[in-house]
Amino acid sequence: MSHLLRVKHVNVKFQTLHYIRHALMKIVDIVNRNAVNLQNCESEPIHIPGSIQSHGALIAINKGNQIITHCSENVLDLLGLDPSKILGKTLDTVFHNGLCGSIHNHLNSSADLSHSVIKCTINNIVFDCTLSLWGNYTIITFEPEKAKDPGVEELYDQTKNFVVQLESSVNLKQLCENVAGEIRRLTGYDRVMIYKFDKNYNGEVYAECCREDLETFLGLHYPHTDIPTQARELYKTNLLRIIPDIGYTPIPILTIDDGTDKQLDLSNTGLRSVSPMHIQYLQNMGVGATLTISLMHKGDLWGLVACHHYSPKYLSHFMRITARLQGHFLTSQIAVRQEAEEYDQSKQLQQHLEQLLAQQFELDRSKLPMLIKKPEVLAITHSMGVAVVLDNEVYIQGETPEKNDIQQLANWLFTYTAGKEFATHKLADIYKDAEKISKTSAGLLYQPITGDDRNCIIWFRPETITQVNWAGNPEKAIIKDENGLFPRKSFALWKEELKLQSKEWTQPEITAAAQFAHDLQKNISMMLLAEEEQKYRLLSIKLQEANSELENVNWISTHDLKEPLRKIQMFASRMLEDEDAGLPEKVLDGITRMRDSANRMQTLLADILAYSRILKDKTGFETIDLNVLMGEVIETLKEEIKEHNGKVEYENLPVIKGVPFLLNQLFVNLIRNSLKFGKDGEQPIVKIIFHKGFHVPPELEAGKFYRIDVQDNGIGFDAEFSESIFKVFVRLHSREKYAGTGVGLALCKKIMQSHDGFISAEGSSGEGACFRLYFPAN
């Protein structure tokens, strides 16, 4: 709080200076006063504080006209330049040609400005001058040289030792420990930590080197709120940040008041003033000075090199750059070491996987439990249990939930993941029934194995209760009272037990699981195909037996039944023709009915025989001119056409491929049908029309077809019967008025199917009927 009061006092002083300058010279400061009274630290504008730290001075120039637009208030104390005499002036009128030339050369070069330092002497004082760019401004900072840089021999020895430490590190953690030690030896800070972020940006002190009398922070965790989002973004932009003295008095940045917003973004500037929240945080830790180096990996912030000193400590630019380069050496090794560790794990898992895949998988469902019991199935993912769900059967090994729970979990996972692979070490975060199965499956790895259904393989890991040591209560990282927000004051060890979670799955484990699931899916697909093949084989045998029985029925129908019918017809006809028999009229009527029934049955048997022949006859296709065929059909129906006083019209019909006698029967049935169902008192007219432009019905595959309509002006039928009329023995009218067996149109449909065509019917009651025939054009 004392620092915040001091800041407020300084702000009052700055406001007083502001009014004096405004009255005399129209010069104002751009201090962002909202930063002190924040209610949300996540939105603190730390990139535009409007002030700098006190160990250096700053000026900003317009890149276009080289006019000085901003300067820090201490340029008079450090550089001997009066702000009122340099603001609005060009750079070359304020500084000597040598410095201006060096500045222009650095700006025009392709070198990284963050590594570039210009040595210059102003008023017999040597300054380290650095450049940064923002928008239309070039920002120049000046820091008095306060420490002697190490000699070449000392630097060589230190670098050589650093390289030896890098090469001797066997893993990433040891490498981080060695780098922390080397940076501390180089810089002299009391404590150097390698701070590593998790995926939620909570931090852990991963490695540390500190004075022997200090309490270690190694292994302590810090909540993500300690480094807010906008601060992390600045760490990505400005890879080195130094605060030589956290008790410094912020120096305001001045500019000419011309009524416009002239705020200055200091994101890339090392002198940028520090957030009051962060200053208070460091004071609560007892820290006097800090140096922070960003560790970037694959474009993201992997961690930080955090250096703490418990009294003010200044580090020269040369030493800062050297420390930053050592941090970058560590960054370059992060990917290498992590990939090496993953490779070692992958190599081990691959051996288990190869042993597993080398075993012959038998295409037999009964052998699947034996495969799942193989120890390598668990070893490839370092899991404690595994389950395969296949067609509502569950096969398990090791520590798993009950089978009913696994089936329920598999159904939920299929919906939750949309049938995609998935891994979690905290099932309780997403699954409502996770707690009751956490002893065996606090974490799981899910792989679907047969596409769109719910068959899958799931690996399980039990609950691992983990203790996390926090530096202070993470729930109280930010304290809010009537005066605003403040960082926590206590960093005492706070222990937290993490439950309902397992060890996290690594990428090599997920990859091995995917490989095994892919191979299992392939083998299961082959097994299912074999099962389907066997099922169809048995079905085919049954079908053949049924066809044989049907052929026997056809034989009986066409031979054994015909002979008795002929005798019935013959005896009935003789009795009716014998006029001398003197039979009563009632007996004669019964004999007449018996003969008519026998005639109908003979017709029915003939139709059934024709129907069965169509199913078997796939040969005899010829090129047929339908115009010639239609002449033969009309000749066959000559007597019936004359009897009904009918008329059949056709012309320009196409040439198609077909079986002549079947097509003859097709058109005979259709024309006979139209004649039979003519309207009373009206001449039946049948038109056979060839169409060239039409839409192919969806029942047919894409291709070229001919369409021929058989259209009449008869009694028609209701549209609801347009499909049912093609079924065997279906009749729409009474037998008393219209003779027939109900097989004719079913025969027509079978004939069209045997020609790879299609028949449909359209009609309305009293308006006639139209039968559409689609024949392949090729």
Q: What is the pLDDT of residues 662-674, one digit of tens each?
A: 888 899 889 988 8
Query: To the nearest whole percent, how much of the chain has pLDDT over 70?
Result: 77
* Partner residues linked to 386 by β-bridges: 397, 459
What tens digit of pLDDT does each residue of 199-254 get?
888 889 999 999 999 989 988 888 888 888 888 888 888 899 999 999 999 999 99
Average confidence (pLDDT) over 438-447: 90
Report in angstroms the alpha-carbon separations of 270 from 294, 306, 727: 13, 16, 90
CA distance 507 to 349: 11
- State yes or no: pLDDT of 72 exceeds 90: yes
Residues of the chain with CATH 3.30.450.20: 2-144
CATH of domain 619-776: 3.30.565.10
Residues of the chain with CATH 3.30.565.10: 619-776
What fold, for 2-144?
Answer: Beta-Lactamase (3.30.450)
> Would you say 264 and 134 are in contact if contact means Cβ atoms under 8 Å apart?
yes
pLDDT at position 309 is 96
pLDDT digits (tens, 9 = 90+) for 165-179: 777 777 888 889 988
| pLDDT at residue 640 greater than cutoff 50 | yes
Q: Is the whole model's pTM more than 0.75, yes or no? A: no
At 194, which amino acid appears? I
Segment 481-488 long-range contacts (CB within 8 Å, at least 24 positions apart): 484/37, 484/38, 484/39, 485/38, 485/39, 485/40, 485/41, 485/277, 486/277, 486/280, 487/226, 487/277, 487/278, 487/280, 487/281, 487/284, 488/284
